[in-house]
Structure 1
């Protein structure tokens, strides 16, 4: 069997036929049934080349004549222009035209193609490169693109495109403010009835750092957050602590896209750390800030484990006091819990200067826990009452956000070392991808971009 594929172009009722490919099949088998991947790539590449050639020819012919006097403009010469698409790299013959003398021009010559194609990479290729690079390593993204599409691409190219997209997203971010609450109670009462309450969990993670050629520069902290609302898809955001200059604006815009109104209830769950304690303040007049119960119990578990080896026969009494502290905190009684902790610190104060003694470490962690509860006392509520009413008291969803945004891409099996800038920019693209907003940004930048990409796809990483 022989098959000949042809492309028929209708140019104002003038039909042009172009040969695309010849296919030949001998004996039918499972391997020869239908199109192979190589044949499909060749067909797409050839159709792309033919279509672009005719599009460029029509475009140049249309701009060959002066729009004022309609006289044809002379061609000074041609120069090559490389344009990369999903279906191959196309080398275009870009003509340089002389400007018409009927009007004064700044330059005697110009290139219409250069003015049109300010970027030499198609929007769809940029979109897929940045999307896949946010979900997997740059090398794997390049390999996957080469496997699926007839395109020659390298990890360095994927990195450059992803960085370019991330920088463009950063430039669209609004101005940072200390307070985002606007209006007064009278204005808020006139707003429409709000949607269901929003719960936002904030947590931190750590990424391997590098500085220049130093690949053992330690770690740096990354803050991530996840917003949950009944009947809505969760949303995520993240930023590098010592690099980002607009953390509060970033959180506010995520809540805006979630549909936050100033008369809507919102709960913020944080771990009580210095980097996130002040972040959610002054974002909404109906907000409530809660210290995450998981981090409270995690610190108390560490104290309990250390006390087993340090207290000896006094462990039973120490554990009893620790359980009292936990009970007081669960019911929001900060005063009584601090009183119990203070008495434990006084009992261990004799060992505060003897670093070799077992109880010195116990005294240190109890003192740190005391300072932790004292600095976050205004964020400790009656957890028992909240739990009985079905409210969230733990930031388990923030732990999942750490895993989604940081661990799967920048830690665990990924052995890369990151600069703060590169990690921060990749976080923005990855959060946009997981939220389903990356295609929306591309549609805003390129309004004529195909809507076919706006189909939800399962995330592999």
Structure 2
């Protein structure tokens, strides 16, 4: 069996049809591997079709520039230069003519290149979209291998150009972000009361992760912090965001735009949970008048667990013939103080909790000997006291919230840090990052994870507003 595949082009100006053969296939006895098209044949076919279509589109586009739109006079050509344009289905070397303007335009001897002005980026939007999408989900090298395996672009894409294209997209996204503000609360209580009934409450969790810095002498030293967060709607739906803390100049605007995209109104309740660090605490202020700021229970109980393990370790080291038998009683008292401390914090009794911390500190001073980890425990107790004092305004009655099925922990953000930051930047990745490179990659990555990247490209290039192929989803 022989198959000839042709492209038939119908011109709109009445010219005869153009028929161009782009591929020939031959098949003999049927084998499973020869049923239908092979990947190699499909690449050749797509490249041939793309070549035919691109050639005719360029000819048709340049045709309307050959004459002056005002007087109809023929425009003389100054010269021509090659123009490389990369698409999903191959790289094409185009010829871009430079034409003189018509004398009736009164521009002197000015010239222009219509094709170069149209194709200024030299990379098709669809290819740019796929490069950005896959490079946001996996390493640049693997993204190049994947695209060259399935698309007829041969070895025309490199990891360097892919990184450059992704950063260009990220910079355009960043350029659309509004100016930073100290507060985003608009209007007055009277205006808020006139707004429509608000949507369900939003729960926002923030936490930090760390990425290897590229400006260090070795891989074992040098990290910088990345803040990641997740905004969850009560009735389902969530969006993530992330930024490099020391690089980003618009962190509060970034968070506000995420909330705004979820329909935030000034009369809508927003619950912020964080670990109590200064960075995330300052970030969440003055975004909504109905906001509630809570200290994450997970970070409290994590510190309590560490102190408990230290006390248990000191207890386990006691010997029957210990010269100071009262040490065991003091350690037992410390453990009871710790239980009381946790109980008071769980029920929001901050003043009683601070008293229990003082009891812990006093109890450590009563130890007549210096068991192992004593100094570490003293340091942990004093740091915990400072931590609770600094965040006492954000400690609610966790038990009451828990009984009413309200969020008390940022556990959902721990997983967010994992798949937004760690999975691409840390785990199994041998790269070290500059703050700028990590920040820009984070912006495209969250767009992909939020299913917003296709919408962004559709806004930039209206012809791409179609639905995203289902095969590309859930690749993260």
TM-score bracket, normalised by the shorter chain, equals over 0.9
Aligned to 1:412: 427
CA contact (8 A) 1:328 1:336 kept: yes
- What's the C-alpha RMSD, in Å, of the aligned pairs? 1.8
Match of 1:145 among 144, 147, 151: 147
For 1:301 and 1:179, the matched residues in 2 are separated by: 37
Distance (whole Å) between structure 1 residues aligned to residue 347 and residue 223 of structure 2: 37
CA offset digits 1:49-68 (Å, max 9, x no partner): 11111111111111100011
Aligned length: 459
Provide the residue aligned with 1:426 in structure 2. Answer: 441
- Give the 3 Å change call, closer, same or farther, for CA 107–289 of structure 1 in structure 2: farther
Where does 1:13-412 land on structure 2 (aligned, <5 Å)? 13=14, 14-105=16-107, 107-151=109-153, 152-211=156-215, 215-310=219-314, 312=318, 313=328, 314-349=330-365, 358-412=373-427
Secondary structure of 2:81's match?
strand
User: What is the DSSP-based 3-state SS (H/G/I as helix, E as strand, rest coil) of the residue aligned with 2:243?
Assistant: strand
- List per-residue Cα deviations over 1:168-219 (Å, max 9, x = no partner): 1111111111111011111011111111111111111111111177655411
Further displaced range: 225-234 or 391-400: 225-234
Deviation of residue 441 (structure 1)?
1.2
Q: Quick one: distance in 2 between partners of 1:189 and 1:316?
A: 55
Pairwise CA distance, 1:449? 2.2
2:445 match: secondary structure: helix
- What is the rounded CA distance, in whole Å, between the counterparts of 1:19 and 1:67 in structure 2? 35
Deviation at 1:99, TM superposition (A): 1.7
Alpha-carbon distance in 1 for matches of 2:350, 2:450:
38
2:333, 2:363 within 8 Å by CA — same for their partners in 1? no
Q: Distance in 2 between matches of 1:358 and 1:116?
A: 70
Describe the superposition over 1:122-152 as per-residue Cα deviations: whole angstroms up to 9, x where unpaired.
1111111011000000000011000111013
Cα shift readout 1:312-340 (whole Å, capped 9, x = no counterpart): 51332211110100000000000000011
Contact 1:99-1:108 at 8 Å conserved across structures: yes
- Alpha-carbon contact 2:334-2:363 (below 8 Å) kept: no
- SS of residue in 2 equivalent to 1:304: helix
CA distance in 1, matches of 2:386, 2:132: 44
Segments of structure 2 that go 5 or more residues without pairing to the other structure are 319-327
In structure 1, C-alpha distance between the alignment counterparts of 2:79 and 2:32, rounded to whole Å: 52
Q: Note if contact 1:310-1:362 (Cα within 8 Å) is conserved in structure 2.
A: no
Give SS of 1:6's match. Answer: strand
How far does the alpha carbon of each residue in 1:63-85 deviate from its partner, in whole angstroms, 9 at most, with x for none?
Answer: 10001110111222221100000
- Report the 3-state secondary structure (helix = DSSP H, G, I; strand = E; otherwise coil) of the residue aligned with 1:384: helix
Q: Deviations over 1:94-119 (max 9, x none)?
A: 11112211121265322111121121
Is the 2:212–2:222 contact (alpha carbons within 8 Å) kept by the matching residues of 1? yes
Q: Please give the per-residue CA displacement for 1:362-418, whole angstroms capped at 9, x wherever unaligned.
A: 100010011111100000000011111110001111011101111110011112111
Contact 2:454 2:465 in 1 (8 A): no
* Alpha carbons 1:210, 1:217 under 8 Å: kept: no
CA contact (8 A) 2:337 2:359 kept: no
Q: Matched residue of 1:102: which SS? A: helix
Normalised TM-score (structure 1): 0.96
Deviates more, 1:72-81 or 1:52-61: 72-81
Q: Answer whether contact 1:325 1:340 (CA < 8 A) is retained.
A: yes
- Structure 2 length normalisation: TM-score? 0.93
Question: Is the 8 Å Cα contact of residues 455 and 465 (structure 2) preserved in structure 1?
Answer: no
Distance 1:456 1:3, change over 3 A: closer
**Structure 1 counterpart of 2:323:** none
Residue 309 of structure 1, CA deviation: 2.5
**Cα separation, 2, equivalents of 1:187 and 1:363:** 52
What CA distance in whole angstroms lies between the structure 1 residues aligned with 2:172 and 2:415?
Answer: 27
